[in-house]
Amino acid sequence: MKRARMVSRNLFRSTHRRRGAAAVLAMLFLVIFSTLTLSMYSLATVNMESASNLSDVERARATAESGLRWISYRFRVMARPKTTVGNIDATTADTLWTPLATAIQTDFNSLLTPAERTLTISGKTITSGTIASDESSARFALTIQQHPTYVGDPLDERYVRVTSTGTYRGATRSASLDYKIEKKVKFAVVGKVPVQLGRNTMVEGPVAMATASKYPPILMLSDFTHFDNNLKTKIQSFASFIKTKHVGYDGRVSVNNSSEYTQAKSAGYDDWNGDKYVDEYDLFLKQYDADNDKAVSAAEFTDPSTNKLYDSNLFKAMDATGGPMYDGDVTRTGYQDNQIDNTDVYAKVNGQLLMAATQSGFSSYATGQSKTIYDYLTGPVVTTDPLAVPVRYSVTTQDIFDLDPANFEQCTLNFRAKTGPENGTTATTSTIKTNKVLATSDANGGTSNERTPFGSTSYQATYSRPVYRNMTFRNCRIPKGLNALFDNCTFEGVTFVDMTRDITTSSGSVSTSSSAGMTWSQRMKPSQGSFNKSTTLTSTNSYGYTDGNNIRFNDCTFNGPLAGGYATAYTHFSNSWEFTGATMFDNQFDETATIVSPQVNIEMGSFTNPSAAPSTLKGVVVAGNLDIRGTSVVDGSIIVTGDGAGNTTLGYFGASDSDTNPSAMPEGGYGRISIRYNPYRALPDGINVSIDMTAQVETYREGAQ
Ligand SMILES: [Ca+2]
Ligand SMILES: [Ca+2]
Ligand SMILES: [Ca+2]
């Protein structure tokens, strides 16, 4: 697979310390480490036992390697130290050594065999006792040592070397591997509410849904059923084939699965692009590749009746996968070359799907809807790792990410300090405000009464907004209760939106419940009657208005991050921001984050003109909930920390998409959403989550180093 090569290329790029033989072994480790589970560890040891014809030396070597696999597993599942530092440098890594050593000791204390729990911690070196690798007399012992390990060591404190010494009868062999202390989100999309991937929405990186009880946890629509009825019919027939004949939820039949492949061929399907799988992409290729060169040119994808591309957004999105990840990154072959071929490696999701829900739970939900899980997971899910199942159920917090919104509070406070008078002297002209806490009196466009969400047929409330037009805001703060409409404004530096931190119930206790958040939003002031969604809310009649911040940004440009205060609960409409018209994100100021607002509901993109706002959202997008329509590229990670919304909708879903039948083309087209996890982006500071210990596969060595 092209993508597999690309990933390993990127992994290897970080170092020049590569050796031929070791590189091959390293590839094996790449496969093993990314998929290791306890059961697989057991399997490996069973396999090792059965290989009774191995020489003692080979057995000792395999035992040493087994020790590295074992510690990789422990590193993955143990409670690792947390830090709020976003980009872990050598100095930070140095301070993490002591808590890391403590965490390793705590983890070892949980081992079943008491004799194996003992560790000797001396300075930057931890030494284990001997640990049984299986039922035989094979043993390994580990030395865990933080770099630098000698004067002139090119590796700094971010790297930890584990040396595993295996013994079997009289033979002894060692193997070592370096792990990097880092902090990454590791997901393209991760959240607490169901994730919906609409049409022309492609994801590169894993997708995870962390709440077990919300269904369907993930819903994906095919990218190939909305522009050509002929192709649509074929795709739907193929979906029926997959549903009845294919085991697994990755939407593709391997040519190496002879039983399934034979049935696919007799049903008229084949691997037309030659990637060893039969999937929707093969039908797309077969449909349009008139000259049989295994590529679809723009001319081939042009509808003869309209003389336009069947869907130019889809074509562009498919042609733009696997783009450069950082300045100076090598542009892949076939990137944006105006034709679709194997170098573009189409997948609906290029990464694993992880969900907290059980498979049986998801299945019984589907049965209740007269469906099966297959009806929700449409399109190819491609994992580059041949041992990783494309869809994992029953995942835990350790598998995902600690999404507690409180973990992001310090991060939002860091951004707040970069706005208003705390950031510098306030300066103001009629059109440019710098380091200012905005006031209603700064508004230059009168007021506008409008429903929220704007342009939606179902709305939650009506707001009276002060209007700010054609203004520039540099490092400004939007105070609680402003509820503004910003029209054609530019935001530079950091923009911060204040909100109420403690969301309280009617009895005054602080709540984390989203239903309490809704009640809180709907509070009316004395003698103002009860809440009604068509009553225009103002500072006179509504506590939800004065204590929250429901904002619409229309045709605005953001040249830096936008952050909002942490609140204890998701409040639905009171803390809700919409981005409409040609609003654009082009963060040139701080590429760690585009949005950090852990309890704010965000509606991004136009309902009516999806092509109006092509944005690139760099770094993390942290929101209480997030819906993106229109045209956007996410070059980082979407993190949904609120639990009160129905779902996170990415890309176009029509009125009839609840039953996954495509409806007519919406006005302005379907837009396109490309979401790509970028491991090269540092996190912003202030997010309090665990570090990772990431195996540096190219550092694998046999023998002591
Ligand atoms: Ca194929
Ligand atoms: Ca062609
Ligand atoms: Ca291409």
Reported as a single tens digit per residue, the pLDDT across 415-447 is 999 999 999 999 999 999 999 999 999 999 999
**What are the φ and ψ backbone dihedral angles of 396, each rounded to 5 degrees?**
-110, 175
Burial of 58 (0-12, 13-18, 19+ CB in 10 A): middle
In the reported structure, the alpha carbon of residue 334 is separated from the centroid of ligand 3 by a whole-number distance in angstroms of: 4
In the reported structure, the alpha carbon of residue 383 is separated from the centroid of ligand 1 by a whole-number distance in angstroms of: 14
For the segment 29-47, the average pLDDT, to the nearest whole number, is: 43
Instruction: Specify the number of domains making up the chain.
Output: 3
Does residue 136 lie within any of the structural domains? Answer: yes
Q: Which ligand is nearest to the CA of 271?
A: 1
- Does residue 538 share a domain with residue 428? yes
In the reported structure, the alpha carbon of residue 286 is separated from the centroid of ligand 3 by a whole-number distance in angstroms of: 17
In the reported structure, the alpha carbon of residue 187 is separated from the centroid of ligand 1 by a whole-number distance in angstroms of: 26
| Nearest residue to 374 (alpha-carbon basis) of 252, 214, 203, 230 | 252
Q: Which two tokens stand for residue 331?
A: 């542009």
d(CA 226, CA 98): 56
In the reported structure, the alpha carbon of residue 316 is separated from the centroid of ligand 3 by a whole-number distance in angstroms of: 9
Q: Which of 71-85, 151-165, 248-262 has the lowest mean pLDDT?
A: 71-85
Reported as a single tens digit per residue, the pLDDT across 461-484 is 999 999 999 999 999 999 999 999
Q: Which two tokens stand for residue 203?
A: 């994801």
- Does residue 144 share a domain with residue 38? yes
In the reported structure, the alpha carbon of residue 630 is separated from the centroid of ligand 2 by a whole-number distance in angstroms of: 29
In the reported structure, the alpha carbon of residue 275 is separated from the centroid of ligand 1 by a whole-number distance in angstroms of: 5
Q: What range does the domain containing 290 cover?
A: 189-377
**What are the φ and ψ backbone dihedral angles of 276, each rounded to 5 degrees?**
75, 10
Secondary-structure breakdown of the chain: helix, strand, coil percentages, each rounded to the nearest 5? 25, 30, 45
In the reported structure, the alpha carbon of residue 285 is separated from the centroid of ligand 3 by a whole-number distance in angstroms of: 13
Reported as a single tens digit per residue, the pLDDT across 304-325 is 999 999 999 999 999 999 999 9
d(CA 374, CA 253): 14
Q: Which ligand is nearest to the CA of 279?
A: 1
Looking at the predicted structure, is the pLDDT value of residue 79 above 80? yes
pLDDT of residue 610: 56
For the segment 110-119, the average pLDDT, to the nearest whole number, is: 94
- Does residue 202 share a domain with residue 152? no
For the segment 669-677, the average pLDDT, to the nearest whole number, is: 90
- Does residue 200 share a domain with residue 156? no
In the reported structure, the alpha carbon of residue 285 is separated from the centroid of ligand 2 by a whole-number distance in angstroms of: 8
d(CA 128, CA 66): 15
pLDDT of residue 76: 87
In the reported structure, the alpha carbon of residue 281 is separated from the centroid of ligand 1 by a whole-number distance in angstroms of: 7
Taking a C-beta distance cutoff of 8 angstroms, is the pair 142, 74 a contact?
no
Looking at the predicted structure, is the pLDDT value of residue 690 above 60? yes
In the reported structure, the alpha carbon of residue 382 is separated from the centroid of ligand 1 by a whole-number distance in angstroms of: 12
In the reported structure, the alpha carbon of residue 338 is separated from the centroid of ligand 3 by a whole-number distance in angstroms of: 6
- Does residue 462 share a domain with residue 341? no
Residue 590 zone, left/alpha/beta (φ > 0; ψ -120 to 50; rest): beta
Q: Which ligand is nearest to the CA of 288?
A: 2
Position 135 confidence tier, pLDDT thresholds 50, 70, 90: confident
Reported as a single tens digit per residue, the pLDDT across 609-631 is 556 666 788 899 999 999 998 88
- Does residue 463 share a domain with residue 363? no
In the reported structure, the alpha carbon of residue 224 is separated from the centroid of ligand 2 by a whole-number distance in angstroms of: 18
Look up residue 563 and give its amino acid.
A
Q: Which ligand is nearest to the CA of 297?
A: 2
Does residue 328 lie within any of the structural domains? Answer: yes
In the reported structure, the alpha carbon of residue 292 is separated from the centroid of ligand 2 by a whole-number distance in angstroms of: 5
Looking at the predicted structure, is the pLDDT value of residue 105 above 60? yes
d(CA 3, CA 606): 32
In the reported structure, the alpha carbon of residue 268 is separated from the centroid of ligand 2 by a whole-number distance in angstroms of: 21
Taking a C-beta distance cutoff of 8 angstroms, is the pair 303, 309 a contact?
yes
pLDDT of residue 401: 81
Position 704 confidence tier, pLDDT thresholds 50, 70, 90: low
Residues 6+ apart with CB under 8 A from 2: 322, 332, 342, 343, 345
Cα-based angle 570, 409, 683 (whole degrees, multiple of 5): 110
Does residue 667 lie within any of the structural domains? Answer: no
Does residue 683 lie within any of the structural domains? Answer: no
Position 385 confidence tier, pLDDT thresholds 50, 70, 90: low
CA 323 to chain centre: 17
In the reported structure, the alpha carbon of residue 311 is separated from the centroid of ligand 1 by a whole-number distance in angstroms of: 21
In the reported structure, the alpha carbon of residue 340 is separated from the centroid of ligand 2 by a whole-number distance in angstroms of: 9
pTM of the predicted model as reported, rounded to 2 decimal places? 0.87
**Residue located via tokens 């391997």:** 254
**What are the φ and ψ backbone dihedral angles of 78, each rounded to 5 degrees?**
-75, 160
Cis geometry, peptide bond prior to residue 453 (ω within 30 degrees of 0): yes
Q: Which two tokens stand for residue 63?
A: 């035992």
In the reported structure, the alpha carbon of residue 384 is separated from the centroid of ligand 2 by a whole-number distance in angstroms of: 26
| Nearest residue to 593 (alpha-carbon basis) of 501, 676, 685 | 685
- Does residue 422 share a domain with residue 367? no
- Does residue 484 share a domain with residue 591? yes
Average pLDDT over the chain, rounded to whole? 89
Does residue 119 lie within any of the structural domains? Answer: yes
Instruction: List strands edge to edge, sheet with 432-434.
Output: 427-428, 432-434, 472-474, 490-492, 557-558, 584-585
| Nearest residue to 170 (alpha-carbon basis) of 272, 75, 55 | 55
Does residue 303 lie within any of the structural domains? Answer: yes
What single string gives the DSSP state of each residue in 550-577?
A: EEEEES-EESS-EEE---SS--TTSEEE
- Does residue 151 share a domain with residue 42? yes
For the segment 32-50, the average pLDDT, to the nearest whole number, is: 44
Q: Which ligand is nearest to the CA of 238?
A: 1
Burial of 338 (0-12, 13-18, 19+ CB in 10 A): exposed
Q: Which of 32-46, 69-83, 183-197, 230-244 has the lowest mean pLDDT?
A: 32-46
Task: Indicate the residue among 592, 609, 634 that finishes a domain.
Answer: 634
Position 292 confidence tier, pLDDT thresholds 50, 70, 90: very high
Looking at the predicted structure, is the pLDDT value of residue 32 above 80? no
Task: Indicate the residue among 611, 634, 657 that finishes a domain.
Answer: 634
- Does residue 329 share a domain with residue 436? no
In the reported structure, the alpha carbon of residue 279 is separated from the centroid of ligand 1 by a whole-number distance in angstroms of: 6
Reported as a single tens digit per residue, the pLDDT across 328-365 is 999 999 999 999 999 999 999 999 999 999 999 999 99
Burial of 440 (0-12, 13-18, 19+ CB in 10 A): middle
In the reported structure, the alpha carbon of residue 634 is separated from the centroid of ligand 2 by a whole-number distance in angstroms of: 30
d(CA 690, CA 240): 42
d(CA 617, CA 675): 9
Taking a C-beta distance cutoff of 8 angstroms, is the pair 551, 484 a contact?
yes
In the reported structure, the alpha carbon of residue 207 is separated from the centroid of ligand 3 by a whole-number distance in angstroms of: 24
CA distances from 337 to 319, 343, 350, 510 (A): 7, 10, 20, 55
Looking at the predicted structure, is the pLDDT value of residue 641 above 90? yes
Does residue 40 lie within any of the structural domains? Answer: yes
Q: Which two tokens stand for residue 346?
A: 């189409």
Q: Which ligand is nearest to the CA of 340?
A: 3
Task: Indicate the residue among 328, 358, 377 that finishes a domain.
Answer: 377
Position 542 confidence tier, pLDDT thresholds 50, 70, 90: very high
- Does residue 207 share a domain with residue 163? no
Q: Which two tokens stand for residue 412?
A: 């939002």
Percent of residues, the chain, with pLDDT higher than 70: 88
SS3 233: helix
| Nearest residue to 150 (alpha-carbon basis) of 140, 165, 137, 161 | 161
Cα-based angle 498, 501, 507 (whole degrees, multiple of 5): 135
Taking a C-beta distance cutoff of 8 angstroms, is the pair 295, 334 a contact?
no
Looking at the predicted structure, is the pLDDT value of residue 75 above 60? yes
In the reported structure, the alpha carbon of residue 619 is separated from the centroid of ligand 2 by a whole-number distance in angstroms of: 36
Query: Does 204 or 36 have the greater pLDDT score?
Result: 204
pLDDT of residue 386: 61
Q: Which of 314-318, 585-589, 636-640 has the lowest mean pLDDT?
A: 585-589
Does residue 313 lie within any of the structural domains? Answer: yes
- Does residue 578 share a domain with residue 500? yes
